[in-house]
Structure 1
Amino acid sequence: MAEQSYTLLESRFTAMIPEKLRVFYVSKLREMEFVTLSGNIRWKKLIASFTSYYGDNVLKECNSNISFGTEDTWLHKVLRKPRGSCHPLRHILLISFLGETVESLLKKFNTDTYNPFGVDPWPCLNKAADHYKESIITTVKITKDFKSSNPVGTFKCTCGFSYSRKGPDLVTEDRYRIGRIKEFGGVWRKKLKEINESDLSLRKKAEVLGVDPKTVINQLLKDDLININVESISNDKKQGQKQQWLKLINENTGLSISELRKSNSNLYMWLYRNDKEWLKEHSPKKIRIKSKGSIIDWEQRDIQIEELAKSIVKDILNEKKIQRVTKNEVGRRMGRINLLYKNMHKLPKTKFILENGLESIEEFQMRRIKNVVKKLMLNRGVVKEWEVIREAGLKPKYANIHKHFIKRGIFASYKL
């Protein structure tokens, strides 16, 4: 660490863009299998490995120890979207863990050799072209993915075919991966027209063109070249959807149509749009009970709702994500929000539980303050009043109201 610090102090280099630095770190973590295919960091595995690599004593000496179970450590801040600065020593700790040095990092950032998609030329992945997989593309347009901030490369061949993929490339095989086809181009469309006149099946046509059957249909419709039995394909899909719906009913006997719809809303909406009459005939019928008076045992229902309300209030108070205990939230979670508003006078036990369990805005803020103080003490060992106010998201009005409570909480945390 002393040598790396010396290199950093003695080197002349331009300022590094935090976001670009973060992308570099994440790409290295991906190589070390600390990042999932969807781009999420495996935090538990990473923190355990990082702590084991240095040992608790070294990290503590560098004031960079990491507490398990917390989601707001300095390591989280470095590897997420940059919102603040981080001490260079901590960057050195991470760089060394990733198998790099300050010198190698500066070299990659201060030259044009670093490219998340490697060096040109790149292959054309137009399966309809004679030059398929030949490296003839010489330029790439690099943008940033909106959600993950990972680099996205767009490659366009002279044949008109254009595709993109999310990077960075980690292995050679990544160069032959398509994330999304942007343009098909003249060569691909010519092949589409030729193959459409053949006797090949739709699936085989799609395989030859390097796309899925649905894309073949869409592009044929777009070019007015359709000569395949779209109706039979549509009927096949319709039969498949109907079978899924019948299976769903059989596996969930007793559920109402509303409950079935919630369990698979996409399937329900597809059948509703494409065969509404069939769906109506093959759905559970509504049971309407005509009675002269109320048949609901409100006393028994009150006991059931009371137990459910107790459990939900307890769950909300024990969750890591701080949330206020309100009647709306309790009702939403139990799926009986109307009952709590319209029939509360018939549920005295439940009413008592809610009156004593619900939080006012002030009570919720005080609970959130306690949680923030505890978290800051575990993470940093030092708690400042302004940090508590910021982390708890208190407006100036409420920060003033709870000022003494914050001070008492900080004082109590030091005593513990």
Structure 2
Amino acid sequence: MIDFFTDPYKDELIYSAIARFHFYSGNIDFKDTIEECFGKRTMIPTLEFGGRLEYLANELGGTYTADDIINKNTIFPYYAPFIDYKRRDEILRDIKFNGSGTIYTKLGIIAGSICKKNYIYYCPICAMKDIQQYGEAYIHREHQLQGIMICAHDGNVLKRYSIRKLDSSRIKYIKLDKELLSLEIGSEKVNNYEKHLKLAKDAHYLFTEDLNEINKNNISSRYKFFLFSKGLARRNGTIKQRRLYEEFIDYYGVGFLESLESYIDFDDEYNWLKIVTRNSERVTHPIRHLLLIGFLCNNIEEFFKTKIIWIDKKVENSKYNIENANLNKLSEYKRNFIKIIDENKGMNRTTLREQLKKEYIYLYRYDREWLFSNLPKKIKEEKQIIRIDWEKRDKLYFEILQKKYIEIKSLEKPVRITRTSLAKSLGILDNIEKKIEKLPLTRNFLEKVFESTKDFQLRRCKVIIDNLIQNNEEIKLWKIQRTAAIRTNQFNDIKDCLIQYIEIKSDCIEKII
């Protein structure tokens, strides 16, 4: 039984509470703290979720339940509405009774993760308020969410904490030290600030509302309902993917989507927008769900609170809706509808829906039978052949690949430059692999920057050499090989090049001196 524990603050990660517990308990070895909290010394701390929380809750004498901690002090509610019940139950069991090793895989964080955060983040105003109220700052869970770069409460750009978890011991719990916090309100400029702020507020909504009854299937039904309401789905549930793509891109803009690693290649049958609207078994990142919800609804509450029911893949009225409609508003909207139809003979359904958006949605929701019986007759659409401007697409791919190349080259930990590393996260890999002959600019660029295994090993070793020189450390070939984790036979192939590089760098340093 733990006699003393640092109670988690509001929206504090359980990781942060344990970090404070370690500090105040006087423990020197983090393994002692881990054993006290989890009953075993081999647990590896994880920032976002944690593990063996059932054991921790029992050790705290029933003050908390594991479910309380999960819902209030982990980021699990950010993912929960968008996964099915079976997967959700498996993950909850892992968090309660096991370690967190498999949680990330089951949530698709490893395979399909975007906007990864390698640092702990904080809001300077929130940190200031915490220090004034509690005498210390703590790690807020909302600030750690992938894809969120603005504080939902104060509207400030989040800042990186100076100590990076990846650079610390695997068993260390990092506590925010107010001496290391920058509490000045920054003047950082963020493109598409309002859109980023809305995303942050929508993510906050996922933490404040009880969405336990919502799961992936329910989300899918809601997508189809609102897509149909916007004229982007047919009555049988199929999606008008081309029109959805065009309106979605027009709504957000390519630059904003790229900033969230959510660019969409329409020709890729497995782009994320198609996957999420087809109720695929694949896991889709929450930030992309929030993007689609923001496009479909005026606010996130409308998306989750609207009462809908699906029967035989068709949206049908529930008795609740028809009985609880505002009859005065219903009558007014019907009159408006009939008036516009009478004044505009020959108007098609799409134009009518665009002109009377709020009336259409309201009638659809509360008296669908009347709506469909009074709509103009359908005009058979002529199928259009969509011709792709490959020259334009080639230039676009070339531009975004250049940006990605610069981004990868600037990473602290080198990553090999290949088609996959450049194009996969942009969602254009499949198109490049299948249509490369139509993309000469793209092809030439990829051929130019492609790294063989040997090229990459050589670049990685040069980075290590540069770091040794910068830190005034002795340069030893065996140390370079060990740090780069290269087999001896492969290292021997690049040894001469490295010796030459060391000599050149040494000459440069001597000239400077």
TM-score, normalized by length of structure 1? Answer: 0.41
TM-score (norm 2): 0.34
**Which protein has greater RCO, CA pairs closer than 8 Å, 6+ apart?**
2
